[in-house]
A and B are shown apart, each in its own frame.
Chain A
Amino acid sequence: MPGMIFHPGHQELHGITVVLETTGPVTYVGRFDTEDARGVHLLNVAEHHRASSPYPLEEFLVQTQKFGVKAERKHLVVASSLVGRIRKLGELDG
């Protein structure tokens, strides 16, 4: 539903599991909580690092969609200047 606010009173992505690609080699998957002056707050976060993760990002996301988010951190703040793209995990192709 376009424009539907999942949790009224919160930002549109609040409570939604997202894929946050940074401007660098790291991609995070976690639940979007809020964005403030510090940056984007994610909860229950899994991380993919282009150089060190055992799978390419695309495979990592396929596995995450199928088997769920393997959270490594409870809370992470990503500075807004480092955010490249945010997509909903549930809306990725494949």
Chain B
Amino acid sequence: MAYPEPMIRPMREEVTRHGVMELRTVAEVDGVLANPSGTQLVFVNSVCGCAAGGARPALALALQHKAKPEQLYTVFAGGDVEATARVRSYFSDYEPSSPSIGLLRDGEVVYFVHRHQIEGRPPQAIAADLVAAFDRYCEAGSREQ
């Protein structure tokens, strides 16, 4: 069952204002993940405190880095239930958690941040982990938007 949209809309916008595309349906998810190329980040957003205090601000910080994934996507766990489940099918080796962040390169999961790597940590520390992954797997200045 989804949370009321007026409640979660600001949480969505906190991510999408950074140029991250929301995937709200199964078709939208498959449209970008079924035939992948390049680097794709998928941010599983959620209502919990560790999304608000950790993951979302960390993402905002990390996206200021010169090396970034070429494509940026987000789904909302507890908002777009089917889309979130579909996204998780592309990360099937990883247990579902939210918030979480997955990085794919040419369809292969190369980096994953679980909730347990977010909870209780300041956003700067989470962002540092993301930036290290971006430096390793992404190219500077290669992002299309």
> Which residues of A line the B interface, CB within 8 A?
1, 4, 6-7, 15-17, 65, 67-71, 88-90
Contacts and interface: CB of A to CB of B under 8 A. Distances in A.
A15 B50 CA distance: 9
A69 B119 CA distance: 14
A11 B142 CA distance: 44
Contacts of A69: 95, 97, 116
Contacts of B94: 67-68
Contacts of B115: 17
30 contacts: A1-B120, A4-B120, A6-B49, A6-B50, A6-B120, A15-B48, A15-B49, A15-B50, A15-B119, A15-B120, A16-B116, A16-B119, A16-B120, A17-B115, A17-B119, A68-B94, A68-B95, A68-B96, A68-B97, A68-B116, A69-B95, A69-B97, A69-B116, A70-B95, A88-B116, A88-B120, A90-B116, A90-B117, A90-B120, A90-B121
A90 B94 CA distance: 16
Nearest to A71: B95
